[in-house]
Structure 1
């Protein structure tokens, strides 16, 4: 057994694996390069942290499983929830997202309470996504998991889904780059969730401390302001940056019905 090796030395030899999934405009692949608002955020923080492997992109279900089981692994952008919280170490929050139900014919789905939506035939959700888990915890049994939002929006257009649970930032991207989706309308405000950088429970303490320090030290970095402007222009919306966390300005949010309770 080797002795006398410091945690710092071990961290220097241990490279962090960084994984993400296709979730524009936060993280996605474009012309063979992984890019996006949160991808650029991670790249900024990498400059102040120990060596890590290049960011890799995979389906979210696979990314989530790797984060739960593999040592020295960070996954993003990961929404924190009571069920997920014990399984990871968390750095952030880095983004707030407002969830809402989307419909092609809002007059048919403008209900008063969340529970009212349990009566619709099917609700499109992203597979293994926090939104799917959250609705299951609320007692929904009418969910239809899909692999990406573009697929869900197309199925909604084709009337193969009744409604889709989406987020305000993602929706802004979808209607900006797929104008055919502009006839889809928000019908019910569901929840607000916060995204973090999530580290596996088997990650070296020195690596965790370095990333937490980098997050705290860069909350007011000028590059974050540049990212806010750049990606706000990409989705033709106003992004807000406060205490290191991005969100969509309330004035630019989709105007939809507020919940009255369960």
Structure 2
């Protein structure tokens, strides 16, 4: 084989390499949202992180999981190829961006929380807006925009843990968080979960997904989908749910719901 033919063969071979197989081009992003994906001593952990690590192992990938702020994760999802991120809800705005959703990986009830015993009469966003109450919710979180769009005053914070600390100190009137994450966030914030109570559920059975950026090759996404479906045939998800379950937050898994808190 002469030099030119060897060069053409090499280029053709490189063109056939799937990023999901090589693992070189795939970037895996996580936001800090316990208990699904968060940092402990600088290391990503959480039951969705464990799913990603197992899928990487099954696919022969060795890409590190990077924890970034939610707005930055969305910036990468919108403008770059070969980006995977965890864990995100499906909204019309995100679907319009061409983001691909794999899952569901979680199902949660979305709740407005208030200090226990506080005399607030609220059962909808209309009540919150009419009483001019201040709600805490993180920057980039879909719940933040949800309440802003409905005329609620929102204190955009850096994390759910900060929201709970602010709520405890009386700096805000309420905050928005799911039933799945609340006990873990309270623990991380160093506050007693018993000091708060739900005011009302504003969105039932919302689902979270593993997501891929709009420019990620279809072949890459399909490989992850196949690996995910194969993993569902094993007892991995049930074992992971039992591992992360606790008396205050009993965790279960089903194919239709992903991980969810047993009521």
Shorter-chain TM-score bucket reads 0.7 to 0.9
SS of the residue corresponding to residue 71 of structure 1 reads coil
Which residue of structure 1 aligns with residue 136 of structure 2? Answer: 124
Which residue of structure 1 aligns with residue 115 of structure 2? Answer: 104
SS of the residue corresponding to residue 24 of structure 1 reads coil
Structure 2, gaps ≥5 residues long: 1-7
| 1:8 CA drift (Å) | 4.0
Aligned length: 248
TM-score with structure 1 setting the length: 0.86
Does the alignment pair 1:183 with 2:191?
no
Structure 1, gaps ≥5 residues long: 251-262
| 1:179 CA drift (Å) | 4.5
Does the Cα contact within 8 Å between 1:15 and 1:50 map onto a contact in 2?
Answer: no
- Paired residues for 1:224-243 under 5 Å: 224-233=237-246, 236-243=248-255
- Paired residues for 1:72-151 under 5 Å: 72-87=82-97, 88-119=99-130, 120-137=132-149, 139-151=150-162
| 1:167 CA drift (Å) | 0.9
TM-score with structure 2 setting the length: 0.86
C-alpha RMSD over aligned residues: 2.2
- Paired residues for 1:25-40 under 5 Å: 25-40=35-50
| 1:150 CA drift (Å) | 1.3
Q: C-alpha offsets along residues 84-108 of structure 1, whole Å, 9 cap, x if unaligned? A: 1122011111001111111115542
Which residue of structure 2 aligns with residue 258 of structure 1? Answer: none
| CA distance in structure 2 between the partners assigned to 1:223 and 1:180 by the alignment | 32
In structure 2, relative to structure 1, the CA distance for the partners of 1:99 and 1:157 (3 Å cut) is same
| 1:149 CA drift (Å) | 1.2
